Amino acid sequence: MECPYCGAELQEVDTYGAGKPEYYYGTAANGLYYPSTWEQLGIIYQCPNIDGFEPKEDAILYADENNIEYNDWRDIICNSSCFNGYFYSDKNEELHEGYPC
Q: Is residue 3 part of a domain?
A: no
pLDDT-based confidence at 8, cuts 50/70/90? very high
Using CA atoms, how far apart are residues 75 and 51, in angstroms rounded to an integer? 8
Q: Is residue 60 part of a domain?
A: yes
Q: Is the dihedral of CA 45, 48, 52, 57 positive or negative?
A: negative
Number of domains the chain is built from: 1
Domain of residue 72 covers: 11-97
Q: Is residue 56 part of a domain?
A: yes
pLDDT at residue number 78: 94
Q: Is residue 5 part of a domain?
A: no
pTM to 2 decimals?
0.80
What's the whole-number mean pLDDT along residues 64-69? 93
Q: Is residue 87 part of a domain?
A: yes
Using CA atoms, how far apart are residues 79 and 100, in angstroms rounded to an integer? 19
Cis omega before residue 4 (within 30°)? no
